[in-house]
A and B are shown apart, each in its own frame.
Chain A
Amino acid sequence: MGARVMADKKGASSRPFARVLVANRGEIALRIGRTAREMGMEWVAVYSEPDRSALHTRFADVAYALGGRTPRESYLDVAKIVRAAKETGAEAIHPGYGFLAENANFARAVEEAGLVWIGPPPSAIVDMGDKITSRKLMAEAGVPIVPGLAEPLADAAAAKKAAEAVGYPIALKASAGGGGKGIRVVRDPADLEGAFRTASGEALAAFGDGRMYLERYLDQPRHVEVQVLFDAHGNGVHYGERECSIQRRHQKLVEECPSPVVDAKTRAAMGEAALKAARAVGYVGAGTVEFLWSKGEFFFLEMNTRLQVEHPITEMVTGRDLVREQIRVAAGEPLGYGQDAVVMNGHAIEVRINAEDPMNRFLPSTGVVQNLRMPGGPWVRLDSCLYNGLEVGLEYDPMLAKLIVWGSDRPQAIARMKRALQELNVGGVSTGAPAALRVLGEEAFVRGEYDTHFLESLDLTQDFLGMSDVAAIAAAIHRYKQSHRTALQPTAGRRDGWLERGRRSLTTFPLPQSSNDEGGANR
């Protein structure tokens, strides 16, 4: 405990940089900016044209216009972002996740411009970025891998031949893939050709690389990942695991830390394997080693050479600010503590609040956010880019916020997340939050018995709260009042407006803007 306090104090007193640029948008830009500020640094936000009024643009100390409407013209433009850092006097660049976070060319460009790259060495990104190379490296380093073929497949016919050798079911994966794109599971040889075609096409569109490989598909698989961090002096620790098996179409929805199936002994073994994997590529900084866990065995899946979306649950359980640790080691500071100082305390759960419709196969939902009500109370953390009036379109990732809770044990964390989700309201768009609520209420989930197919096995069209009659009553009254108001008296029901005018006439100082009355100022 003593060493931990010392290390934290040291981090707070020495400001590694005066100004850091965050090459991202949305909740993660805010998340990084918050730690930068806590460390006494200023942060620079970059923004595209549609993000002129985005929260990250408004929260930052310095906001730099990249111009452009599409990601390619803005957040993916290496030259523009390096120029932004130079022009704003930033000394370091944090890439967040997504966009350029795992782009080795960007990392090199940052370093060549004389700036500090808050991320792993470009060579480690390259080695882990290509799944075929990484499998080979891991096998050599003695990290357990899933049975399969490391070579890319020439075409659908080659895939068919290879699948027969490995044995069905198989998983087809994009060599350059990530984020669930370009992945197909095939159980029946008859489906292989079609699956190869769509997955390869998807990979080509998403990554500019249509190469595919395949491996054995493990039944009842759980997605368990280990967080690691290395400094530039060869010291590394792991922060235990995160369980991310609640997913649909390989997109995570609910994550928890620690995993309900990993005991101390397995944790130590997985942690050791993760450290070994990172060392094999000369890793520096924060990274995540993903494993597939199946019936007590675990296999290396891939390493994400960046901060993960779900990093906060590890922060809640270990008490370590991972962004602060990233910045410290990027500045060359030694880690300052060993594995013994990493203590896991209690249980944390994260739910991703995505703009999607769980009642309708999680199809994307678009609209203008309104009626926002944020959850709060003990041990609730909301990392969000939401505000009333936010336009949710299709040009960016649908993730709007992450709701994170901590509890002293798993049942407490589950109960806390349920009540926090009930408090949350995001109007104007549909979100996946009700699906998460449904998951948390399932007995199998409460027992910790679930795998990566769990979410897809639930019928999410059911009204599991049983309040459809209340919804019907509310809708009918709303409709009645609406038609009545517009038909008869255009100003009916405006008692609050009358009160507002009365208050203003009696007040000589600015009224505080009430959170649930955002349109009040212009009435």
Chain B
Amino acid sequence: MKYFVVVNGTEHEVDVTERLGELVVSIGDRPVEFAYQEVNRHGQVALTVGLRSYGISIEGANSRMAVTIAGQRYSVGIEDERERAAGLAARARGGGAGPVKSVMPGVVVDVLVAPGDVVEEGQPLLILEAMKMQNEIEAPSAGRVTDVHVAQGQAVGAGEKLVTLAAVTE
């Protein structure tokens, strides 16, 4: 099984196959000499690569994981070949404009734009308060505001749509 693994923005191709009950792994085209032992069912793993020993913690499942090694937390996106193909197709359909989503749970303190407004990249769209800090949510790209999905005083969750932008045709 081939996996496309994106670790903090860097992509690796890792191949995992089972031969006579043993896992065989290669990264890129390089075979990996390893031993992988689950310590418990909560994602604690004892991994050796060559002679190097790593006490690793893995959380999450399927396509999104977080892997912690020596205090460094790596955010990992992982796709198999089928998911890869589906993902590429979806990305080809999208592009540029779209919804601006909340990256954290919080409360909308102020909405600074209205539908129809044309905004520049980096322009504040609204102010979101989380953990008593006020954060300006900026436009990720230039565009026209087509929808404002939230109102002042509203609580929003992580990943919730805030504002939708459409590309400005020139």
List residues of chain A with CB under 8 Å of any chain B CB.
180-181, 198, 201-202, 205-206, 249, 359-360, 363-364, 366, 370-371, 373, 388, 394, 397-398, 421-425, 427-428, 430-431, 433-434, 437, 461, 463-465, 467-482, 484, 493, 496, 516-519
> Could you tell me the distance between the alpha carbons of A371 and B56 in the complex, rounded to whole angstroms?
10
- Residues of A contacting B78 with CB < 8 Å? 475-476, 479
The answer on a CB contact under 8 Å between B9 and A496 is: no
The answer on a CB contact under 8 Å between A518 and B67 is: no
The answer on a CB contact under 8 Å between B55 and A373 is: yes
20 contacts between A and B (CB under 8 A): A181-B132, A201-B110, A371-B68, A394-B105, A434-B71, A461-B9, A463-B72, A465-B69, A465-B72, A468-B8, A471-B7, A474-B58, A475-B58, A475-B65, A477-B36, A478-B65, A479-B78, A479-B80, A482-B62, A493-B38
> Could you tell me the distance between the alpha carbons of A8 and B130 in the complex, rounded to whole angstroms?
44
**CB-CB nearest in chain B for A484:** B18
The answer on a CB contact under 8 Å between B72 and A476 is: no
User: CB < 8 Å: which of B18, B38, B76 contacts A471?
Assistant: B76
| Contacts of B26-69 to chain A: CB distance below 8 A | 27, 32, 34, 36, 38-45, 47, 49, 52, 54-59, 61-62, 65-69
The answer on a CB contact under 8 Å between A371 and B43 is: yes
**CB-CB nearest in chain B for A205:** B129
Additional 20 contacts, C-beta under 8 A, given A470-B52, A473-B14, A479-B62: A202-B132, A364-B105, A370-B43, A371-B57, A371-B68, A424-B71, A428-B59, A430-B73, A469-B12, A470-B49, A470-B56, A470-B69, A472-B7, A472-B76, A473-B47, A475-B76, A477-B36, A480-B23, A496-B40, A516-B39
- Residues of A contacting B130 with CB < 8 Å? 363-364, 394
Minimum C-beta distance from B54 to chain A (A): 6
> Could you tell me the distance between the alpha carbons of A428 and B66 in the complex, rounded to whole angstroms?
9
> Could you tell me the distance between the alpha carbons of A469 and B27 in the complex, rounded to whole angstroms?
8
- Residues of A contacting B36 with CB < 8 Å? 474, 477
How many residues on B have C-beta within 8 angstroms of the other chain's C-beta atoms?
Answer: 65
User: CB < 8 Å: which of A201, A363, A431, A475 contacts B104?
Assistant: A363
The answer on a CB contact under 8 Å between A427 and B59 is: yes
The answer on a CB contact under 8 Å between A463 and B57 is: no
- A364-B130, A463-B7, A479-B62 are known contacts. Are A425 and B72 too (CB-CB below 8 A)? no
- A475-B67, A477-B23 are known contacts. Are A363 and B103 too (CB-CB below 8 A)? yes
> Could you tell me the distance between the alpha carbons of A433 and B40 in the complex, rounded to whole angstroms?
24
User: CB < 8 Å: which of B34, B58, B127, B131 contacts A394?
Assistant: B131
Tell me whether B70 is interfacial, beta carbon within 8 Å.
yes
The answer on a CB contact under 8 Å between A472 and B59 is: no
Tell me whether B75 is interfacial, beta carbon within 8 Å.
yes
> Could you tell me the distance between the alpha carbons of A394 and B43 in the complex, rounded to whole angstroms?
25
**CB-CB nearest in chain B for A206:** B132
User: CB < 8 Å: which of A388, A397, A422, A472 contacts B71?
Assistant: A422
Minimum C-beta distance from A99 to chain B (A): 13
Tell me whether B10 is interfacial, beta carbon within 8 Å.
yes
The answer on a CB contact under 8 Å between B16 and A476 is: yes
Minimum C-beta distance from B116 to chain A (A): 22
- Residues of B contacting A517 with CB < 8 Å? 40
Minimum C-beta distance from B2 to chain A (A): 9
Tell me whether B136 is interfacial, beta carbon within 8 Å.
yes
The answer on a CB contact under 8 Å between A205 and B76 is: no
The answer on a CB contact under 8 Å between A398 and B3 is: no
- Residues of A contacting B150 with CB < 8 Å? none
The answer on a CB contact under 8 Å between A471 and B133 is: no
The answer on a CB contact under 8 Å between A474 and B10 is: no
Minimum C-beta distance from B165 to chain A (A): 20
The answer on a CB contact under 8 Å between B32 and A473 is: yes
Minimum C-beta distance from B89 to chain A (A): 21
- Residues of B contacting A481 with CB < 8 Å? 38
Tell me whether B5 is interfacial, beta carbon within 8 Å.
yes
For B115-135 the 0/1 string (1 means CB < 8 A from A) is: 000000000000101111110
> Could you tell me the distance between the alpha carbons of A380 and B72 in the complex, rounded to whole angstroms?
19
- Residues of B contacting A180 with CB < 8 Å? 133
- Residues of A contacting B45 with CB < 8 Å? 474, 478
The answer on a CB contact under 8 Å between B27 and A473 is: yes
> Could you tell me the distance between the alpha carbons of A308 and B132 in the complex, rounded to whole angstroms?
20
For B96-112 the 0/1 string (1 means CB < 8 A from A) is: 00000001111001100
> Could you tell me the distance between the alpha carbons of A461 and B59 in the complex, rounded to whole angstroms?
20
The answer on a CB contact under 8 Å between B134 and A198 is: yes
- A205-B129, A516-B39 are known contacts. Are A470 and B54 too (CB-CB below 8 A)? yes
> Could you tell me the distance between the alpha carbons of A155 and B75 in the complex, rounded to whole angstroms?
44
**CB-CB nearest in chain B for A375:** B71
**CB-CB nearest in chain A for B28:** A469
The answer on a CB contact under 8 Å between A472 and B134 is: no
**CB-CB nearest in chain B for A493:** B38
> Could you tell me the distance between the alpha carbons of A475 and B74 in the complex, rounded to whole angstroms?
10
Minimum C-beta distance from A467 to chain B (A): 5
**CB-CB nearest in chain A for B103:** A363
Minimum C-beta distance from B15 to chain A (A): 8
The answer on a CB contact under 8 Å between A461 and B8 is: yes
**CB-CB nearest in chain A for B135:** A363
**CB-CB nearest in chain A for B76:** A475
Query: Which residue among A249, A464, A471, A518 has the maximum number of chain B CB atoms within 10 Å of its CB?
Result: A471
> Could you tell me the distance between the alpha carbons of A434 and B106 in the complex, rounded to whole angstroms?
25
> Could you tell me the distance between the alpha carbons of A192 and B166 in the complex, rounded to whole angstroms?
30
Minimum C-beta distance from B95 to chain A (A): 23
- A422-B70, A474-B58 are known contacts. Are A181 and B9 too (CB-CB below 8 A)? no
- Residues of B contacting A431 with CB < 8 Å? 73
> Could you tell me the distance between the alpha carbons of A226 and B56 in the complex, rounded to whole angstroms?
40
Minimum C-beta distance from B50 to chain A (A): 10
The answer on a CB contact under 8 Å between B132 and A359 is: no
The answer on a CB contact under 8 Å between B14 and A476 is: yes
Minimum C-beta distance from B53 to chain A (A): 11
Tell me whether B90 is interfacial, beta carbon within 8 Å.
no
- Residues of A contacting B86 with CB < 8 Å? none
> Could you tell me the distance between the alpha carbons of A470 and B72 in the complex, rounded to whole angstroms?
12
Minimum C-beta distance from A85 to chain B (A): 27
- Residues of A contacting B34 with CB < 8 Å? 473, 477
- A201-B134, A373-B55, A427-B68 are known contacts. Are A476 and B105 too (CB-CB below 8 A)? no
